[in-house]
Structure 1
Amino acid sequence: MINRRIESITEGILNELNITSAKKIDIKKICEFYGVDVKSEDLDVDISGLFVIKEKGNYIRYNANEPEHRKRFTIAHELGHFVLHKDTPLFISKSNNVMYRNLDSSTGEIKREREANSFAASILMPRKFVLDEISKIPKKTKDPVSHLADKFRVSEQAMTFRLANLGFDIGLVDY
């Protein structure tokens, strides 16, 4: 299900940064625009990323050992926490406010986790850009979902969820 508020927020971000196509979506540069430091780290296997709020500055750390598509989604997810939830942290660790993305995050059980996932999907696969790319899929393409996932540099699973949330019948993407 599409969260219109989050769609509007991400659309505004992309417009403000003059991002006009899928290939121009550089999630690390978007984080940089917001003053959020992003770096990879060797995190525990069950932690994909974390967002930390500190007096000296906010930062995102993502698991260096995960595939590139997952890293991008994790960074976008953590940025979602910054944009949507920075005043209401999920976990508090001493004097730092820390938000984690782990295996439970992908189940969408916590409202803020679902919102961060929605933000990540919306900023990495904006509705307008998805519709535009669908119209450009070559007719002989055997797997349109895979084709779109490659264009947006996301996993096929992320693209499948996004297309379903946008109202497309997966497998019958009309292009």
Structure 2
Amino acid sequence: MSGYSIKVPPESRHAIREAASIVRLTLEKKQGSSSLYLPIIEMLEFTLPKLDNEFNFEVLPKSVMQSNHGLTIPEQKTIMLREDVYERALDGCGRDRMTAAHELGHYILHSNLEITLARTNEELRPFEDSEWQANCFGGEILMPYTKKDLLKGKAPQEIADLCGVSLEAATYQSKFFR
């Protein structure tokens, strides 16, 4: 997707958390690993294609992607990352890892929807906003509630280091571990 908020069927944080948990467990089981740090790029490149043979993961140059860091085209079962974002995510940059997880959120949550790109001036409620849902999924898959006992009480910087996310993302997500 493109960063534009699109009205989608409502999903609660709890429902998105459950979806992220199932996806994470499935990917971990297929890869044979269950550490706190989820290797999101490796999951997109190697693990997800083994689970869904129609899935496409593409890394495209900035000249093609332009200002888009990532795009998901659910009807084509495709996630695209801009090359510089991909490289930084591979190097462990939290913000770029979150971009990859966010795009996976669009893929998982919005693949079976008939979405029209009719943008509206109406104020979307967060749980009906495609971008909020994908951000929520990204946070939940990279800093899972299922591992809250390992994360609760830790400073946001420690969560960021353990989970490979930005300090901003860790600070926000840590509110949900209480």
TM-score by length of 1: 0.67
The two structures, once aligned, show a CA RMSD in angstroms of: 2.9
Of 7, 15, 18, 2:17 maps to 7
Look up the SS of the partner of 1:59 in the other structure: strand
* 1:88 aligned residue (109, 114, 117): 114
Q: Deviations over 1:76-97 (max 9, x none)?
A: 11111111112334649xxxxx
The alignment partner of 1:64 has SS state of helix
Of Structure 1 and Structure 2, the greater strand share is in 1
The aligned counterpart of 2:56 is 36
Identity of aligned pairs, percent?
23
- 1:22 match: secondary structure: coil
Decide which of 55, 69, 89 is 1:48's aligned counterpart: 69
Q: Within the alignment, does 1:154 sit opposite 2:165 as a pair?
A: yes
Measured against aligned partners, the alpha-carbon deviations of 1:82-140 in whole angstroms (never above 9, x if no partner) come to 11112334649xxxxxxxxxxxxxxx6971111000100001110122431447x5xxx
Greater RCO (Cα-Cα under 8 Å, separation 6 or more): 2
How much does 1:39 deviate? 1.7
**Number of corresponding residues:** 141
Query: Residues 89 and 61 of structure 1: is their aligned pair in 2 closer, same or farther, counting only changes over 3 Å?
Result: farther
Unaligned runs of 5+ in 2: 1-11, 119-125
Structure 1 spans left out of the alignment, 5+ residues:
93-107, 138-143, 169-175
Structure having the larger proportion of residues in helix:
2
CA offset at residue 4 of structure 1?
1.0
Q: Indicate yes or no: 2:140 matched with 1:126.
A: no
Distance 1:65-1:112 versus aligned 2 partners, 3 A rule: closer
CA distance in 2, matches of 1:65, 1:118: 20
Task: Please state how far the C-alpha of 1:63 moved relative to its aligned partner.
Answer: 5.8
TM-superposed CA distance for 1:29, in Å, is 3.2
